[in-house]
Amino acid sequence: TLGFLTEAANTVGGYVAGALPQQGGANAQAMLDAPRRAYIVLNAEPEFDAADGRKALAALNQAGTVVVLSPFRSEAALQYADVILPVAPFTETAGTFVNAEGKAQSFNGVVRALGESRPGWKVLRVLGNLLEVPGFDFDTAEAVRDAALARPVAEQLNNSTDAPIRVTAAAANGVERIADVPIYHADPIVRRADSLQLTAAARRAMQVSLSSDLFAKLGVQAGDPVRVMQDGASVVLPAALEATLPANTVRVPAATEAAVTLGALFGNVTVEKAIDLPAGNNAAATATA
């Protein structure tokens, strides 16, 4: 029997609510591969949260209109957004998660939304009303939940999929980059938590982990600067030995400034020993396209 683990806490909830391409629509990846004239970004920082942050930035920067709904202001958003509408983070609004078992778990906001910010669903409701789009007449989060879960969740759960699986062959003699999403870089809230960024887990995200053979081949020690080059861009990061990595692989985690500079989370890279790390920094990212 083949089963699936969901990518995030509310992945099933997104499917049940219909947060999928409808009537020939495009998913997020397709909307970045073929840039659109306009984007609405809800509670996300695409430069960190997309599988290719550099491509996401390029798509957003070329768009004629970008509306961002976010609790936070970022330097990147100030560059690509035409307007930033303040919305409450999940801790300040009611909502419902549906886990992989299909169990709906509702919650209330812990505190009131700050200042003039509003829960995301309320902002979307007003935008829908202004554009005279049907189906945006909800008054409470509970009404949104009841509409989304009108059909029993259990009837919609199965392990069938028709999603295409695309596998790109690695270069026979090349070095392959792999990436994970570090726990304290996984969303805008933890990325801004100073205390979490001081932890060992957060610091590990700001280094390049090398397989044993590459570590020896480059002749580096832990903490030595290593330059990683991918698709015309390069970053310099402190080296770390990760003996469990396969031969000829390096790990550069996602959702960091270095990851945004390099681009796609998986692909062929070139690595070399660098002269030095920039003064006062654990990592430096310089685009060389």
**Looking at the domain that runs over 11-156, which CATH code has it been given?**
3.40.50.740
Of the candidates 171, 177, 248, 175, the one whose C-alpha atom is nearest the C-alpha of residue 211 is: 248
Structure-token pair, residue 41: 């970004």
**Answer CATH for 175-287 from 2.60.40.420, 1.10.4160.10, 2.40.40.20, 3.40.50.150:** 2.40.40.20
Q: What are phi and psi of 123, to 5 degrees?
A: -65, -40
pLDDT higher than 70, residue 152: yes
Could you tell me the CA-to-CA distances from 225 to 169, 191, 205, 284 in Å, in that order?
29, 24, 15, 10
81-108 per-position pLDDT tens digit: 999 999 999 888 999 999 988 999 999 9
Please report the pLDDT score of residue 173 as a whole number: 66
Please report the pLDDT score of residue 109 as a whole number: 87
228-287 per-position pLDDT tens digit: 999 999 999 999 999 999 999 999 999 999 999 999 999 999 999 998 766 545 454 444
Q: How many helices (H) and strands (E) does the chain have?
A: 12, 12
- In one-letter notation, the amino acid at residue 175 is V
Q: Using 50, 70 and 90 to split pLDDT, how confident is the model at 24? A: confident
Could you tell me the CA-to-CA distances from 289 to 56, 58, 262, 286 in Å, in that order?
16, 13, 10, 9
Share above pLDDT 90 across residues of the chain, in percent, rounded to a whole number = 78
Please report the pLDDT score of residue 170 as a whole number: 57
By the 8 A CB rule, do 38 and 64 touch?
Answer: yes
pLDDT higher than 70, residue 288: no
How confident is the model over 60-79, as a mean pLDDT? 97
pLDDT higher than 50, residue 142: yes
Residue boundaries of the structural domains of the chain: 11-156, 175-287
